[in-house]
Amino acid sequence: MGRKGLVLSIAGFDPTGGAGVLLDIKVFNLFGLKAGGIPSTLTLQNTSLFQGWEPVEGKYLEKALELVSSDLPIDGIKIGMIGTPENAEIIGKFLKRERKKISWVVLDPVLKATLNYNLFSSSGFIRILKTNIFPYVDVVTPNVYEAETLSEKRVEKKEDLFEIANRLLNLGTKAVIITGWESFHFIWDFFYSPDNSFFLKKKKLAGYFHGTGCAFSSALLAYLVQGFKIEEAFKKAKNWLYFKLKKAEKDKIGGKLWLFL
Ligand code: PXL
């Protein structure tokens, strides 16, 4: 265990660095980790509009994974936007083969951009994500919308998160963190594993951000790789992100959405 090798982000490429691979790398770097990244998709966006995305070719993804993993020890992988069922299958096949050698795998099952654009291509994608990737993941970090979509159950009250998290746990992951359940003044994040469950509550912030899910899951992976227990890593990652967002609220850098790293 430990920090001898690389942490790797497999996610979409956002040219502004506000989300995806670039943001993940910035987070890993702030934690002092050696970081690599493989883009799964190329997005066309800025902080005001999302114009579209396209997947990288399956051959590229497959070969990049092979080249990096055959050359460097990988301590952890964070998976974000994947986009297509074809590329989800390639990542699943890679994890099936290499998982034993990798200490931690975190999945942020990204389905929609904050600017309300779909980040997956077909319903077949969700099926492959659940069957071919979830079984190899230590912690999955959906927001409420993603958790609802993946579990096929709506959240009407906070307590519904128990059943939803349980459904996601049954897909083969070790722990589930559902982020962003909102009450009047507060945001609640929910931790669920076979032997523990609890809520973390934070005051709502007034800023408009995207990439918060990307940054949270990357910070979570960083703390896991540094040796913290999952519950501790969760609390620390949340506090770290909250601190960064509070600072960025003063800068207001960006259009509709603000950058925070
Ligand atoms: O914030 C969700 C997200 C994740 N990953 C990529 C994105 C976005 C939102 O724009 O572009 C690559």
pLDDT in tens, 59-113: 999 999 999 999 999 999 999 999 999 999 999 999 999 999 999 999 999 999 9
Task: Give yes or no for a contact between 15 and 45, defined as CB atoms under 8 angstroms apart.
Answer: yes
Q: What is the pLDDT of residue 3?
A: 62
Is 6-249 in CATH node 3.40.1190.20?
A: yes
List the structure tokens of 183. Answer: 């009450």
Phi, psi of 189 (to 5 degrees): -110, 145
List the structure tokens of 5. Answer: 């090798």
Q: Is 139 helix (H, G, I), strand (E, B) or coil?
A: strand
Global pTM value: 0.97
Does the Cβ of 85 fall within 6 Å of ligand 1? no
The number of the ligand 1 atom at minimal distance from the alpha carbon of 113 is 9
Q: Is 252 helix (H, G, I), strand (E, B) or coil?
A: coil
Q: Is 208 helix (H, G, I), strand (E, B) or coil?
A: coil
Phi, psi of 118 (to 5 degrees): -65, 135
What is the whole-number distance in angstroms between the Cα of residue 211 and the centre of ligand 1? 6
Strands 186-193 and 175-182: antiparallel
Q: What is the pLDDT of residue 1?
A: 47
Residue 250's H or E segment, with its range, is: helix 230-251
Q: What is the pLDDT of residue 4?
A: 77
Nearest CA to ligand 1 atom 10: 113
The domain segmentation of the chain, as residue ranges, is 6-249
Stretches in the chain below the pLDDT threshold 70 = 1-3
Q: What is the pLDDT of residue 64?
A: 98
The number of the ligand 1 atom at minimal distance from the alpha carbon of 41 is 12
